[in-house]
Every structure is written in C-alpha cells, then in structure tokens.
Amino acid sequence: MKNIFSKLKLPKAKEKFSIGLDIGTQSIKCVKLKINNATELVSFEVEEGQLDPTEVLKKIKHAQDADLVNISFCGTSTVIRYVNFLKMNRAELRQALKFEAQKHIPFSLSEVNLDAEILKADLPENKMLVLIAALKKELIQQRFRSLENAGLRANIVDIDSLALINSFSFNYPKVEILGNKSICLLNIGASISNVNILDNGIPRLSRDIHSGGADFTKKLMDIFEVDFKVAEELKINPPQDKSDKIKAGVESVLTNLAAEIRTSFDYYESQNASSVVKIFLSGGGSKVSGLAEMLSIALGIPVELWGPFKKIEISEKIDLPKLNSFSGQFNIAVGLALR
C-alpha cells in the first residue's frame, strides 16, 4: 500500500536509505533499509523499558547518521474506515472525501489530517472500496516536537495498522498465504493490539484494542507479588515449577483479548461473505510463552507467528542472534521503512 498520509510527506531525501521508527509505550524500534534492486536491512535499534524518548531518539539519530524518519501512530486519535463509494476518479474522490468522511470520522474534520486510497475499483453496482484514514493534528504536532528535540524530522506519517499491512504484504504476497481467504494480522503491543482483516490481500477492517502485553505482565505481578521486570521474564521464560500458575494467569487475560478479537471477526463476517481462517501474530506481546497456541484454541483457528524479514536481505554487519530475538517486534518499523 502507498503512504496514506501523502499530504504530510515532505520532500524525499536524495539517499537510497529509508528509516522506519516505531515509538511504542514501552519500547522504541528503528530499522534502516537500503532500497535498490533488492531491499537490505543495514542496521536496527531497539530500546525497552522505562525510557526517556528524547534521549533514545538522539541515540538513534547518532547511530543511523540520518535525520529523516518515517513514523506512525495508533490508538484513539487515529481512525481507519473502509467505505464503499460510487465509482469515481481520484480528482472526484478528493472532492467527495470531506463530505463522506463526516459520516465516518468521530472528530471535527478541522482537527484531523485526512486522506484516502482506492483499494478496489471494480465492486458490483458501479462501486469501489475506499480506505479513509484520519489522524489528529495535535498528536502529529506533539510527535514532531519530540523528533525536533532530538534533531530528527518526519519524512512520512502513517498509522500503525497500515504500516503493519505494508510489511506483511511485502513479505507474504497473497499467493503465498491463503489465496482469496480472509486472514487476520494481529499485532500485540504493550498497551494496544492492532487487529487487521485482509480479504484476498486487500484490507477490509482495522481496529485497535486497548489491551496488550503489559496486561499479561501486570497479572503476573499480582499473582507472584513481583516487580514489572521479573514478571516480564516470567511470562516469556516461565520456570517449570511455576508454569501452570503462569499459564492460568495468561489465560485469564487472554480471555478478554480473545473476546474483543472475536467481536471484530463477528462484525466482519456479518458484513462479508467470508470468514477469517487464520491469524498471523506479531508484536512484543507475541513473545508470551504459549500465547499463539492458547489464542488458537480460544478462537478456533490456526495462529502463526511471523517476522518482517522474509524477503529482506540481511547485512553481514547485523547481529543475527539479537535480531532474531526481537524479530516479530520490528513489523511496524519495517512497514514504515518500506514506504
């Protein structure tokens, strides 16, 4: 998919490198891609824990020796809608967008940056499928100021879900997955999980759920009366003598998350003639021990972990063991760098 917020795109640097910067609530991930005939990962950065964002961003600027980055947002200040329009050209769509967007965006249009993309131009009854995206201007300006304080500038502004879809589409062309079946891309972050349903490779539903990996950690903190760091280790590498208790705690949190995911599936299936047949799982929350299997049982469909480097060459300078240990957490950053 192309950059949905084209209005916010500044002049491209005359470099053959692209940097994707994913700023989460408990981690900051950055990848630098070299994009020529092939796409190559030349460097990456990841910082976790209680962070000073400005200091981390300064460190990233120094390490990457660049000042232009692609960024994205998620949460309540972002909106993605998939809407059927009467068939029209792009110029006509631009004219109709503000009028149509008022029906679907829960903010005053003066508060947001708004853009749209035609996803499918040949629907029945002379219609086409359009993605409408909105992002609050206030949030954008706050992030711009944070970047400026670290000597960085935004080249492209996007939404997490769309960057995730971009990363997946690059690495997993639809012919390699399930053809014309509907699938879900589920990215579990620290505090927000992104649910995206694709039909025959085309996104049809995107939703942010306010639950994530930190909820599993907090549950284990309560059960074992330990601090956050210890609970994080317990959920990823559970010791055998505590495994049953940890699994029970994880499942209690997963019940609520799975119910929210099922609600999204039910809505999608009520609006479309297909059902979701598989989940592709990523994000820091996906590192919870046994989560993919538990989620598969809860929702009754296969769950597969995926990483963003399947079709990306890896520089010889890359620390492969470190990269592999964080692989599923770079999906959004890679999707941004691929813009």
Question: DSSP labels for 17-60?
Answer: EEEEEEE-SSEEEEEEEEESSSEEEEEEEEEESS--HHHHHHHH
Second-level CATH architecture of 174-305: 2-Layer Sandwich (3.30)
Model confidence, pTM: 0.91
Predicted local distance difference test score (pLDDT) of residue 332: 97
Residue labelled with tokens 């201007």: 137
Radius of gyration of the chain (CA): 20
Per-residue pLDDT 10s for the chain (339 aa) are 556 665 555 555 455 899 999 998 889 999 999 998 899 999 999 998 777 888 899 988 888 888 899 999 999 999 999 999 999 999 999 999 988 899 999 999 999 999 999 999 999 999 999 999 999 999 999 999 999 999 999 999 999 999 999 999 999 886 556 666 899 999 999 999 999 999 988 999 999 999 999 999 999 999 999 999 999 999 999 999 999 999 999 999 999 999 999 999 999 999 988 899 999 999 999 999 999 999 999 999 999 999 999 999 999 999 999 999 998 899 999 999 998
Nearest to 185 by CA among 173, 198, 174, 176: 198
Q: Cβ(248)–Cβ(255) under 8 Å? A: no
pLDDT of residue 23: 93
Strand-pairing partners, residue 196, are: 185, 206
Question: Where do you find CATH 3.30.420.40 in the chain?
Answer: 1-172+307-339, 174-305
In angstroms, the CA 293 to CA 301 distance is: 10
Q: In the CATH hierarchy, which fold is given to the domain comprising 1-172+307-339? A: Nucleotidyltransferase; domain 5 (3.30.420)
Three-class SS of residue 65? coil
Contacts of 339 (CB under 8 A, 6+ apart): 2, 3, 18, 20, 70, 156, 158, 163, 166
- Burial status of residue 175 (CB atoms within 10 A of its CB: 0-12, 13-18, 19 or more): exposed
Question: Are residues 178 and 278 in contact, defined by beta-carbon separation less than 8 angstroms?
Answer: yes
Q: What is the CA angle 203-290-238, rounded to 5?
A: 140
Specify the amino acid at residue 328: G
What is the C-alpha separation between 97 and 8, in angstroms, rounded? 17
Please give the Cα distance from 193 to 208 (Å, whole number).
Answer: 6
Give the strands of the sheet with 313-314, arranged side by side: 153-159, 68-73, 17-23, 27-35, 39-48, 313-314
Short-list 288, 291, 286, 283, CA closest to 308? 283
Measured distance CA(51)–CA(182) in Å, rounded: 38
The C-alpha atoms of residue 164 and residue 308 are separated, in whole angstroms, by 9
Whole-number pLDDT of residue 9: 54
CB 193 within 8 A of CB 256: no
